[in-house]
Structure 1
Amino acid sequence: MDLRMLSRELSLYLEHQVRVGFFGSGVGLSLILGFSVAYACYYLSSIAKKPRLVTGGESFSRFLQDHCPVVTETYYPTVWCWESRGQTLLRPFITSKPPVRYRNECVKTADGGQILLDWFDNDNSKNYMDASTRPTILLLPGLTGTSKESYILHMIHLSEELGYRCVVFNNRGMAGENLLTPRTYCCANTEDLETVIQHVHSLYPSAPFLAAGVSMGGMLLLNYLGKMGTKTPLKAAATFSVGWNTFACSESLEKPLNWLLFNYYLTTCLQSSVNKHRHMFVKQIDMDHVMKAKSIREFDKRFTAVMFGYQTIDDYYTDASPNRRLKSVGIPVLCLNSVDDVFSPSHAIPIETAKQNPNVALVLTSYGGHIGFLEGIWPRQSTYMDRVFKQFVQAMVEHGHELSNM
């Protein structure tokens, strides 16, 4: 048989396959079924796993198993998107943005600056009709985030279902307000967070008060908790996708692919946020040099470290890393991280330190990326992170007193 005849026979075969449909072919159906079974076996054996729960005390572990069972259940990442970068990149686009109507408040700071708080009062709460005792959840967004982020909106929606009140802490200059002083924010300096926590507590001193921080917001929250110990009005806290060691985070994000996908974009976002207030910094910082930064590390070296008085970038990154303060946390804290998070490498997660503090629980999933944790076929309404948040804050509000009796 010559090539022309072979080509003709192949063409006739393909035309027949198209005409009857791929599924009409026993070979095609067998291939699809075979691939599906193989993929399902691989997914169930290697991808879907229970998270690792690391606690510093048996009582906290039992409490979470009883009242926050999601932290011990198998996490099933979205079957078509479980890889770290895919989860990280898709979440902002695929998850919904529940509508939230905020009440704005500007809080004055000791240095003459201002902080914008966005309140969701939940005045229609049926579970807590008395506003003075309605549980309050303080939410801290990530590096360039605000109250408009989808993960913040989801937390507020879940808190609304529980009957709680929420208040979002927007970092200086990030939510559209003017800077009144030449100062922005960093995760090592907790002064603004201390001001906000005391302010919120003074408004509702009888209400259970909790906090949740995401990414850099979680780093700031942990640094605050490590500094304050038990001397905080917060009853409990949760963090999600925290960067535990700033040096390790920076090194991971500077790998070529991660730099291309994440680092450069976040750097431009940081530059844009400070360039809006450029006139406030020109006397103390070379803003032209700042605007030429190509990475977060370069931005921090040229802007953040200089603004907050650090001699070197290493001094700032050492002070910013929450792993060194974890041992001093004095209230119950749950920390959810994925070990495949390129923003926070698994080798930098302070597992041994967590084991030494009875107030700390690490929940470590095998997959989930950075603020990803997508699950289900089409993860638009809820993520694993959302379920952890809801169960944990509810457990601490309704059953937190049990911890002291264990």
Structure 2
Amino acid sequence: MGKLTNTYRNESVHDNCVFIQNRWFHIELCYSGCVDSVLFTTPLLLKLHTAHTIHVLSSTPALVSSTPFSAFLHKHCPVVSERFSPTPWCWGGRLQTLVCAVLKSRPPVTYRNELISTVDGGQISLDWMDNKDSATYPESSTRPTVLILPGLTGNSRQSYVLHALNQATRRGYRCVVFNNRGLGGEELLTPVTYCAANTSDLEHVVHHIKGLYPSAPVLGAGVSLGGMLLLNYLARKRTESGMVAGFTISVPWNALKSAATMEEPLNWLLFNRYLTAGLCNAVTRHRKVLEKVVDINFVLKAQTIREFDERFTSLMFGYKSCSDYYFDASPDNKLHNTAVPILCLNAADDPFSPQHAFPLTTIQSLPNVALLSTAHGGHIAFLQGLFPRGESYMECLFGQFVQAAFEHPQDIRKACGIKDEQRS
């Protein structure tokens, strides 16, 4: 029995050897005149190889945090201490990201939509999952609320949002999804959209939620660009955020470094151009309103996210350059201003958020921020199991952290060095 490598399907027989090549493995076997015996043992070899692959790829995620916060997480979020085993046939960051987009299931959800007006005459679409049948929190006024912020062009229909909703609602909590302007199916009433650095709409939404349920704690959960927005908001509002904790998945820590990574040829081919097309489609959908402030035809010629941000986002929000916008949008330089417990999940092989941009030194010096990093997982994927259609590692971690923050508020504040008078 010989070597295992990563190639494609091709079977051939030469002399006294049979070569069986598969998309995920290559087995070279020697035999003595009987190919049938080799074929008979192949299923067993496949099982052994799969088990070997899972063992090799699985590892315990690295947790960077203060000692007290780490102890809290290990006690109340057991998945932190467990080995993460990515899907054995889908473990590379790019492949995890692509497969997740295609295979991940979308649980059925019935939302209650609410449109709220903004001070500039615009409107924001909120999708609520009220969870009125919650046995744990039957009283609506005190039912904990999870505020979910989707990614770059995402909304409440994304698979990761729907699975997160399931995790939260089955624990008895209420959920509300904050759709960025123009992405929730609503009309754009003013020539203003959204960006990772502008937190005014999020502040308005939090104020609205707290006005409806002043006695209900709120936890913010942001995904990708939604995570950037959440962290920037928590840094600017500090002790006045109105949130008890924050959770992020696959946040790009440094926008400039993420842009550079996304412009690498393969990443541009697989991801960047499609995301840019999605941004351009959103502009086209609201063309009549947006053409008052930008050159639409010039914007629609953008081939990368950076070009789009140069021609559209940075101009709309008053930045002198795209570099200025990216610096302002990057949460890595603001973490020290946050004042609530925050857990962040990233993968080292994320093609959107490069590992060298993780602010490890900063996080090590902060009592209230923790970064959990897996070796594999891609961008908003973290797939596991042979058929990764259901809940993944990121949703399991999300559910456990949300429950820990809501059910043990005093313990988590103490672990993060937050005094009661600092409470949001």
TM-score scaled by structure 1? Answer: 0.92
> What secondary structure is seen at the aligned counterpart in 1 of 2:276?
helix
Contact 2:232 2:334 in 1 (8 A): yes
> Quick one: which amino acid aligns to residue 178 of structure 2?
F
Aligned to 1:277: 286
CA distance in 1, matches of 2:136, 2:148: 21
Residue 52 (structure 1) aligns with = 62
- Report the equivalent of 1:3: none
Q: Secondary structure at the match of 1:139?
A: strand
- Matched residue of 1:239: which SS? strand
Report the alpha carbon displacement of residue 29 of structure 1 after superposing the two structures with TM.
Answer: 3.7
Q: How does 1:4-19 map to 2 (within 5 A)?
A: none
Higher relative contact order structure (alpha carbons within 8 Å, sequence separation ≥ 6): 1
1:195 alignment partner, SS class = helix
* Structure 2 CA distance for aligned equivalents of residues 285 and 156 of structure 1: 36
2:127 match: 118
Percent identity between the aligned chains?
A: 51
Superposed CA RMSD in Å reads 1.8
State the Cα distance separating 1:62 from its structure 2 match: 0.6
Q: Deviations over 1:154-182 (max 9, x none)?
A: 11111111011000000001111111111
Q: What is the letter of the counterpart of residue 58 of structure 1? A: T
Given that 1:53 and 1:72 are in contact with CA atoms closer than 8 Å, whether structure 2 keeps it comes out as no
Residue 373 of structure 2 aligns to a residue whose secondary structure is strand
Partner of 1:319: helix, strand, or coil? helix
Q: How many residues align?
A: 385
Q: Which residue of 2 aligns with 1:4?
A: none
- Is 1:392 the counterpart of 2:363 in the alignment? no
**Residue 401, structure 1, aligned to residue 400, structure 2:** no
Residue aligned with 1:142, SS: coil
**Who is 2:81 aligned against?**
72
Distance 1:43 1:177 in 2: 45
Counterpart amino acid of residue 113 in structure 2: N
CA distance in 1, matches of 2:163, 2:224: 16
TM-score of the pair, normalised by structure 2: 0.88
What is the CA-CA distance between 1:209 and the residue it aligns to? 1.0
Match among 277, 284, 296 for residue 287 of structure 1 = 296
Does 2:191 correspond to 1:182?
Answer: yes
1:17 corresponds in structure 2 to: none
Alignment deviations for residues 161-217 of structure 1 (CA, whole Å, 9 cap, x no partner)? 101100000000111111111100000000000000111011111112111000100
User: Residue 37 of structure 1: CA displacement?
Assistant: 3.4
What is the aligned partner in structure 2 of residue 310 from structure 1?
319
> AA paired with 1:28?
L
Return the match for 2:113 from 104, 109, 119: 104
Residue 158 in 1 paired to residue 167 in 2? yes
Larger mean CA deviation between 279-288 and 184-193 belongs to 279-288
Q: Note the C-alpha offset of 1:380.
A: 1.6
Shift of 1:27: 2.3
Question: 2:241 aligned to 212, 232, 251, which one?
Answer: 232
Q: d(CA) in 2 for partners of 1:179 and 1:38?
A: 53
Give yes or no for contact 1:59–1:403 (8 Å, CA) kept in 2: no
Pairing 1:37–2:48 present = yes
User: Of Structure 1 and Structure 2, which has the larger fraction of its residues in helix?
Assistant: 1
TM-superposed CA distance for 1:35, in Å, is 5.9
Determine the C-alpha separation between the residues in 1 that align with 2:87 and 2:388. Answer: 7
Q: In the aligned structure 2, how far is the partner of 1:404 from the partner of 1:110?
A: 34
